[in-house]
Structure 1
Amino acid sequence: MDSIAECQITVEAEEPAIDSSSLPDEEMGRAEIYQLLACLLSSPPSEEIIVSLAGLEADDTDLGKALGGVAAVAAKSDLKVLTDEYADLFLGIPAPRLMPYASYYVNDQLFGRALAELRIDLARIGIARRENVTEPEDHVATLCEIMTGMIVGAFGEAPRRLSRQATFFERHIRPWTGRFFSDLEAAEASRFYMAVAQLGRVFFALEEEAFKMVSAEASDATAAP
């Protein structure tokens, strides 16, 4: 998969502790998809991102088909149309159609306990929200961005072990994003973002299965004499 264009980040990140080019291709692929989702869910796609999407080489896997779906819709869409769609879904007045926050789905309110627990975990691992950012940290795009940083080592140390990535995913992403992506896919205004929702749903399902294997292997290792 070709590299995805950068987008504005919302959490403080230092230079990667290692050269991310030394990461295995599979890990870089994971990081790039998280980064793509972070970009697309934090703001309307830029022309640079649309060009990046057009260069994607999809394969016949479920993930490849989902990526191909995003690229295909993007190729047929005008930037203004995509900007309007994003605004309708996430910036609507008097209220957006979608609330992409963990607290909304987990606690049925914004700024709920899910956000408080996330902030505790972020402080523990040394991640802080940028001063000029007003979005709460439990926005789905920010969580994707954090996963990218954990994979590539963007938070002042080497890439986090898979077990730590799994813990973060299990605590702050898995419990609610399936419902969010279902809502995004079903939203009346969703065209391009229907494809984005399908990509997120497929990718997170793969991540969940992979992390289950990591947890099972860790349990087996602990139980071994």
Structure 2
Amino acid sequence: MKPQPIQFATPADDREELARAEIYGLLAQLFVAPPDAAFHAQLRVAPTEAPTPGGFLEPAWGEVVAAARRVPPDAVAAEYDALFLGVGRAEIFLYGSFHLAGALNDRPLVELRADLRTLGLERADGVSETEDHIASVCEVMRFLIAGDDPEICNLEQQRRFFRIHLQTWAEALCAAIEAHPRADFYRAVAGFLRAFVEVETQGFDLID
């Protein structure tokens, strides 16, 4: 099945835009840490219909729900630690710089920080992850969709940020997770991220 591009909503009907923002927020929550018991319980009982209209996302979202029902919270936490934390060195890095430049804290992070300054955004105090962590990038996309400053939170800013800071490396991250033998719950999450990025890519292409 080919991805059906999102038809970006008009200001008068922003339900689809808010749904997009919610998906970015959900992905950020899943990647910043393993789901706690309450969040895991919500995933287990979630409807398997896609969180946003469009059948292309439904199989991938259904896999996330099925994985939550199959893998208990402690096993998900152990999987997260094994994949993304590790002892000394992570098995899979969740940082754009690594996938774009082959090293952490490299030029892609410098360029991202410059763009974030232009947007008036900066890393919150107490946050240890650098800004090119996939969760942080998804949070910025959520802000650019749902924020209330039209000078910053608009479709053109979304498209530019997405193309430079997410589309360029999301595929590599998803492939690394899906290929890892320890991945189970996060294989499903990676599949959902991949499907969503494909839909977003086609949607942004339509407004060229």
1:172: which partner in 2?
Answer: 165
Letter paired with 1:189: R
Matched, 1:157 2:135: no
Encode CA deviations 1:67-107: one digit per residue, 9 max, x unaligned: 11101110122111010000000110121110111110111
* Deviation for aligned residue 1:27: 1.0
Letter paired with 2:90: P
> Hey, what's the Cα distance between the residues in 1 that align with 2:101 and 2:72?
37
> Hey, what's the Cα distance between the residues in 1 that align with 2:95 and 2:130?
8
Question: What is the TM-score of this pair, normalised by structure 1?
Answer: 0.81
Structure 2 residue matching 1:174: 3-state secondary structure = coil
> Hey, what's the Cα distance between the residues in 1 that align with 2:13 and 2:183?
35
For the aligned residue pairs, the C-alpha RMSD in angstroms reads: 1.6
* Deviation for aligned residue 1:23: 6.3
Letter paired with 2:149: E
1:191: which partner in 2?
Answer: 184
Structure 2 residue matching 1:38: 3-state secondary structure = helix
Identity %: 34
Letter paired with 1:123: R
Question: Of 96, 103, 111, which residue of structure 2 is paired with 1:109?
Answer: 103
Contact persistence 1:163–1:211 (CA under 8 A): no
> Hey, what's the Cα distance between the residues in 1 that align with 2:40 and 2:62?
13
Deviates more, 1:111-120 or 1:71-80: 71-80
Unmatched 5+ stretches in structure 2 = 1-11
Letter paired with 2:169: W
Number of residue-to-residue matches in the alignment? 192
Unmatched 5+ stretches in structure 1 = 1-21, 216-225
Encode CA deviations 1:23-45: one digit per residue, 9 max, x unaligned: 62211211111111101111011
2:131: which partner in 1?
Answer: 137
